[in-house]
Amino acid sequence: MNKATGAVFRARGLTKIYRMGDVEVHALRGVDLELRRGELVVLLGPSGSGKSTLLNILGGLDAPSGGDVWYEGHELTGADDRALTLFRREHVGFIFQFYNLIPSLTARENVAIVTEIAANPMTPEEALANVGLSERLDHFPAQMSGGEQQRVAIARAIAKRPSVLLCDEPTGALDSATGVRVLDAIERVNETLGTTTIVITHNVDIARMAHRVLHMADGRIASSETNQARVPALELRW
Amino acid sequence: MTALQTKAWRDLVHLRGQALAIAFVIAGGIATLVMAQSTYQSLEGTRARFYADYALADVWASAKRSPDALAERIAAIPGVQTVQTRLMASATLTVANFDEPVRAQILSLPKYGGQPQLNKLYLRSGRLPDPEAMRETLVSEAFAEAHGLRPGDHLEATIYGHRQRLDIVGIAISPEFVYQIQPGATFPDFLRFGILWMNTRALEAALDMTDAFNSVTLRLRPGADTAAVLDALDAMLARYGGLGAYARKDQLSNRFLSEELRQLATMARLFPTIFLGVAAFLLNVVLARLIGLQRDQIAILKAFGYSDRTIAWHYVQIALLIAAVGAVVGVAGGAWLGSLLAGVYRDFYRFPFLDYHLSPAALATGVAVAFAAAAIGALQSALRSARLPPAEAMRPPAPERYRPALFERLGLRRVLSQPARMVLRYLERKPWKSLLSIVGLALAGAIMMVGRFQGDALEVMIDSQLRVAQHQDLSVDFIEPTSRQATDELRALPGVRRAEPVRSVSVRLRFANYSYRTGIVGLSRNATLRQPVDVAGRPIVAPSHGILLTDYLGKLLHIGVGDRLQVEVLEGRQAHVEVPVAGFVTEYIGAQGYMDLDALNRLLGDGDVISGALLALDPGERAPLYDKLDERPRVAGVSSREAQIRNFYGTMGESLLFFTFIAGVLGAVINFGVVYNSARIALSERGRELASLRVLGFTQGEVSRILFGEIGLLVAASIPLGFVAGWVLSWVMATGFESDLFRVPVTLRSSTYAFAAVTMAASTLLSALIVRRRIRGLDLIGVLKTRE
C-alpha cells in the first residue's frame, strides 16, 4: 500500500517525553509525517525543537511516547528491541554531528564494523573511496581532520547500502568548505543509490539542496515546503 | 579478527595499567588455587602410590609380649588378609658430634631376611641388613640427613640398658613414617628422633624376647569390617598386654599427612575466593567506567544494528582477556609456588619421591575459575551496556546528582574545606563502590595478617605448652612402670636439682557414644615442673578425686565437669574404671587427661609406680649427666625441653617465612590493584573537574590532595576493618585446622597488625606516586574543549 503512494516512512501523532535528571522534556508534541522513496529532506529548526528526537524515532533508536510510525508497511512503534535492531541493521545508515567514530579503530575498521554485520555491503575500501578517502584507510580518528572523520562516518553509514540515511547535523562541527564536501558526498549517495535521506541542520543554506524542507519548532512540524529548484551541494556557501 | 574484536584489543591496550593490576589480582587468586590444588594432588597422589607400592598396613597393635603362635590366630580373624608381626623397642642413641640425647624407635626386620610383607622399606642407599648380622641397621632418611649419616657410619645405641655399636648399612624410607615424629611431639625433630630397622635376632637378644612379638600390623581384605577386626585383635592381645589396636586413619604419620591435606584444601578454597572476589569487583568498576566513557560508541554500534547481546559480549570479552592474562600468570606462578611448597614438604614428609606436577585438572580449574570470576565481575556492567537505550546513549549523561555529604548535614560544613567537601560528597554519592573498595583493601590487609598468623599462633602454642605449663629441663621415660624410688635415684645424679615423678598410662576414654584413645598423665600433688593450666594460664592441680581433661578432649567426648568418664586402661591389668571429670585444662597440642599420681595409682591398682621423671638441672655441663642416664638400664629415653623449643624454630622457621612472604606479596598485589584502579577511575571521572581546578589556579599538589584524599580516606577506613577481617580470617583458618593433634589459638601479635598497616600504607603510597605522574600530564586546554 505504501509502495503505491511511494511512502517509506509514515508517522502519525508522534509525541515524546523524556527525563533529564529531574527535568521532564516534551521533545515531540504531535508530529505527522510522510517520506517518499529517494527523497532528500532537510529538517530545519532551532535547538530543542525536536529534530534529533524525530530522527532517532524514525531510525529505530528511540521509541515515541505516543503515536505510531510505519516503515515500508511495518509498524515500528511497539516493535521489540530485537526487531528494531534488525531494522537498523538492514535498512538504516546514521551520520552524527560529532562523527562518533570509534577512536580505537582505523578508518577501514570503523567501516568494517558495519560491513561485517550487513547482508550486502560494499567493501570498506569501496565505501571510503566513495567519500574520497582511499588514502586514509589505516588512519585512526585522532590522525584525521574533522572533515575526514565525518566522511569516514558517511562511508560507514552508506557501506551497507541502506535504504534510509539519517544525518544529524552532519556539518555542524565543520567549516563551510569541508561541510560542502560532506554534503556533496551525501547528495551523491542519495542520487546514485536512491537512498531516502533526512538531513537535520539549523543552517538554512543547506535547505537549498533538499527536495523538501520541513521546519520544526517546539516539538511540531511548523511548515513543509518543496524546493522547486534545488541547488547542488557543491554550489552551497555559508 | 572482526572490527569489534580489534576494538576489544585496543581498549585493553589503552587500559593496560588497570588491566594489568586486575590481572595480577586474578593471578594471585589463581596462583594460590593452583598452588594449593596441585600440591594437594601431588601430595595425595604420591601418598596413595607410596602406600600401595610399599604395602602400608591397615591396622596396628602393640602388646607387651605375645607368642609368635598367636599370629596364626590373628590371621584367622575374618577380614584379615596379611599379618606381619615384629619387635619394637625404644632406645637412646649416641651420635658422633652431637652431645644431646637422641631417641630412637627400633623395628625388627623379618627373621629370615628380605623385606617385611607390610610397611616395606624403600632403600635410598645401601642394602638391607644381613639376616645373620647382629649389629647391622638401617636408619631413616630424615634422621640420617640431619646427622649426615651414610652407610658405613656407626652409632652407639642403648637398648634396654644394653649399650651396643650399630653399623649403618642402608638409609630407608617407610610408608609408616612419612612424617617422622615422636609420639606426643608437636613438631618433627629429625636430629633428636630417628627410626632404625634391625634384624629380629638382634632385637630378640636386646629385648630378651624369643619367639614372641610386641607389635603386629595387618592388611585387611577389601570391604573388611575394620572396627570388628580391631575388637577381635584387642580381645586376642588383651592377655599379652595389648595396648589397643588402631586403624590407618589413626596412625600418627598418616594423620599428620591427612591434616596437611585438609589444610591445603582449606587454603584452596579460602584465598582464591578472596582474590577473585576482589578481582570481580575491580573488573566491575573498571568496565562500568569504560562503558560510561563509551556511551556514544555503544550508541553507534546499536544504531548500526549491533544487538544488545553482541555489545554485552564485547565488554565481557575485555574482562575475559584480562582474566586470560591473569590465568596465564596465575597458573605459571601457582606452579612455581607449588614446586617451592613441594620443596618445603619434601623436608617434612619423607617419600621416596615427591613428584610435583601440575595436573591438567588443576590447570583447567585455574583457568575456568579465572574466567568465571571475570565473567561475574563483567556481567553487571555488560548488561548495563546492553540495556543502554541507543538514543539516550547519544546524549551526554545527565549531570551526576550530588548533595551535601553526611558530615555537612551533621553541621560540620564549616570545618570542611572545599576540597574536603568534594571528596566526601564523591565518596558518599557512590556508597557501594566506596564500601566495596574499603572491603577489598581490608581483605588485602587481612591476607597480610594471615601470612603472619601461623607464626604468631605457633609462638603462643610453644609458649603455653613448653614455657608456661612445663619447666623441666629434661624428661626421662622408663622402659616400664617402675617403683617411685627411681625418682630419688635420679635426684641423686650429678647436676640434678629437682626430680619429680610422672606416670603416663595408655587409655581409651569413653563417655556415652564417644570414645578417644589417649594417655593419662599422673603428676605428684606438689609438682612444679609440669603444671597444666586453665584457660587464663593459671596452673591447675589435679584433685585427689577426678580427672582434668584437655578442653578439646572434653568437646570430643561431649563431657562436662562432674560427668563420670569411663577409663579403659590399655596396659597392665587393663582395668576398667570410672572417674569424674574435675575440670578442663587449656592445651593447644594433643588431647589427654591429668590426674593426681596417687589417685591414678590407686585407681589402676597396680602399685605405687611411675613411668618417668621430670628433672630440673643445675646450670653447667650436661654431657656427664647424659652419660649417666644412658647407663641406667630402665631409662628408655631422655628429651630436653629447651631442645624442643630450639627445634621448633629451626624446623618451622623456613616454612613460616615462606608463607609470610607469599601472603605479604599477595596482599600487596590486592592493595595495589584496588588503590591503583580507584585512583585511575577517579582521575578519569574527575579529570575535567581537576583540570578545571588547575585552570582556576589550583596547584598540582592541591589537585593531588583532592584525588588522594579520597583514596587516603578509603585506605584509612580499610585498615581497622582489615584488622577485624584479618582476625576473622585467622579464626576461619584456625577452625579449619582444629583437630585432636593440635588447635591453633587465634592470636595475632601487635607487630602483625603494624606490619599489615605499614605494608598497606606503603603499597598505597607506591600506587599514588604512579598515578600522580598522570596529574602532571593533565591536558588543561584539551580536557576543557572535549565533549564529556
The answer to whether A145 contacts chain B (CB < 8 Å) is: no
Could you write out the DSSP letters of every residue in B383-418? HHHHHS-HHHHHSPPPPPP----HHIIIIIGGGS-H
Interval B603-638: pLDDT, tens: 888 888 999 999 999 888 788 888 888 778 788 888
pLDDT band at B396 (very low <50, low <70, confident <90, very high): low
Q: Find chain A residues with C-beta within 8 A of B301's C-beta.
A: 113
pLDDT given at position B788? 39
Q: Degrees (nearest 5) of the Cα angle B209, B211, B214? A: 60
Q: Between residues A88 and A68, which one has the greater pLDDT?
A: A68
pLDDT given at position A1? 37
Q: Find chain A residues with C-beta within 8 A of B2's C-beta.
A: 112-113, 116
Q: Name the residue among A95, A98, A50 with its Cα closest to residue B788.
A: A98
Amino acid sitting at position B569: V
Q: Which of B351-365, B393-407, B412-426, B485-499 has the highest mean pLDDT?
A: B485-499
* Beta strand extents in A89-195 (DSSP E only): 92-95, 164-168
**Alpha helices by DSSP H, B148-251:** 200-207, 226-237
Interval A214-229: pLDDT, tens: 999 999 999 999 999 9
Q: B490 φ, ψ to 5°?
A: -65, -35
pLDDT given at position B448? 87
B13 to chain A nearest CA, in Å? 10
pLDDT band at B649 (very low <50, low <70, confident <90, very high): confident
pLDDT given at position B398? 61
B280 to chain A nearest CA, in Å? 25
Best interface-test mutation with A: which of B16, B300, B317, B402 has the largest number of A CBs within 10 A?
B300
B506-513 average pLDDT score: 91
pLDDT given at position B779? 62
pLDDT band at A13 (very low <50, low <70, confident <90, very high): very high
Q: In what order do the strands lie in the sheet with B80-86?
A: B80-86, B212-220, B59-67, B246-247
Interval A125-151: pLDDT, tens: 999 998 889 999 999 888 898 889 988
Instruction: Give the integer Cα–Cα distance in Å for B397 and B625.
Output: 87
pLDDT band at B88 (very low <50, low <70, confident <90, very high): very high
Instruction: Give the integer Cα–Cα distance in Å for B624 and B66.
Output: 38
Amino acid sitting at position B544: S
Amino acid sitting at position B536: A
For residue B500, give Cα distances in angstroms to B146, B541, B620: 32, 15, 20
Q: Is the pLDDT of residue B766 over 90?
A: no
A235 to chain B nearest CA, in Å? 31
Contact B493, B638 (CB under 8 A): no
Give the mean pLDDT of chain B: 87
pLDDT given at position B633? 76
* Beta strand extents in B233-347 (DSSP E only): 246-247
Contact B458, B467 (CB under 8 A): no
Instruction: Give the integer Cα–Cα distance in Å for B523 and B541.
Output: 9
The answer to whether A53 contacts chain B (CB < 8 Å) is: yes
* Coil, strand or helix at B504: strand
Interval B676-695: pLDDT, tens: 888 888 888 877 777 777 76
pLDDT band at B666 (very low <50, low <70, confident <90, very high): confident
ipTM comes to 0.74
CB A117 to CB B304 under 8 A?
yes
What's the distance, CA B407 to chain centroid? 45
CB B391 to CB A116 under 8 A?
no
The answer to whether B1 contacts chain A (CB < 8 Å) is: no
Least confident of A54-58, B253-257, B657-661: B657-661
Q: Find chain B residues with C-beta within 8 A of A105's C-beta.
A: 3, 6-7, 10
pLDDT band at B395 (very low <50, low <70, confident <90, very high): low
Q: Name the residue among B206, B201, B139 with its Cα closest to residue B167.
A: B139
CB B303 to CB A114 under 8 A?
no
CB B3 to CB A156 under 8 A?
no
* Coil, strand or helix at B302: helix
B239-253 average pLDDT score: 89
Q: Find chain A residues with C-beta within 8 A of B305's C-beta.
A: 85-90, 92, 114, 117-118
Q: Is the pLDDT of residue B785 over 70?
A: no
Q: Bridge partners of B475?
A: B614, B639
pLDDT given at position B565? 96
The answer to whether A99 contacts chain B (CB < 8 Å) is: no
pLDDT given at position B574? 79
pLDDT given at position A2? 39
Of B7, B390, B787, the CB nearest to A104: B7
pLDDT given at position B481? 86
Q: Is the pLDDT of residue B781 over 60?
A: no
CB A102 to CB B14 under 8 A?
no
CB A20 to CB B390 under 8 A?
no
pLDDT given at position B674? 86
The answer to whether B12 contacts chain A (CB < 8 Å) is: no
* Beta strand extents in B174-281 (DSSP E only): 193-199, 212-220, 246-247
The answer to whether B324 contacts chain A (CB < 8 Å) is: no
B751-770 average pLDDT score: 88
Instruction: Give the integer Cα–Cα distance in Å for B235 and B219.
Output: 18
pLDDT band at B136 (very low <50, low <70, confident <90, very high): very high
CB B305 to CB A117 under 8 A?
yes
Instruction: Give the integer Cα–Cα distance in Å for B147 and A45.
Output: 97
pLDDT given at position B399? 61
Q: Name the residue among B501, B453, B517 with its Cα closest to residue B663.
A: B453
Q: Which residue from B minimizes the CA distance to A99?
A: B300
Contact B613, B207 (CB under 8 A): no
pLDDT given at position B671? 85
CB A113 to CB B4 under 8 A?
yes
B516-528 average pLDDT score: 91
Instruction: Give the integer Cα–Cα distance in Å for A14 and A30.
Output: 5
CB A117 to CB B10 under 8 A?
no
Q: Find chain A residues with C-beta within 8 A of B314's C-beta.
A: none
Of B10, B300, B307, the CB nearest to A85: B307
Contact B90, B280 (CB under 8 A): no
CB B299 to CB A20 under 8 A?
no
pLDDT given at position B780? 60
pLDDT band at B162 (very low <50, low <70, confident <90, very high): confident
SS3 annotation, B81-132: EEEEEECEEEEEEEECCEEEEEEEEEEEECCCCCCCCCCCCEEEEECCCCCC
The answer to whether A223 contacts chain B (CB < 8 Å) is: no
Q: Using CB atoms within 10 A of its CB, is residue B715 exposed (0-12), middle (13-18) or buried (19+)?
A: buried
Instruction: Give the integer Cα–Cα distance in Å for B470 and B303.
Output: 80
CB B787 to CB A98 under 8 A?
yes
Q: Is the pLDDT of residue B242 over 90?
A: no
B788 to chain A nearest CA, in Å? 12
The CA-to-CA distance between both ends of chain B, in Å, stands at 30
Interval A193-207: pLDDT, tens: 899 999 999 889 999
Least confident of B130-134, B313-317, B415-419: B415-419
Instruction: Give the integer Cα–Cα distance in Å for B305 and B298.
Output: 11
> The C-alpha cell of B575 is what?
582395668
Instruction: Give the integer Cα–Cα distance in Å for B148 and B263.
Output: 32
Q: Which residue from A minimizes the CA distance to B386?
A: A81
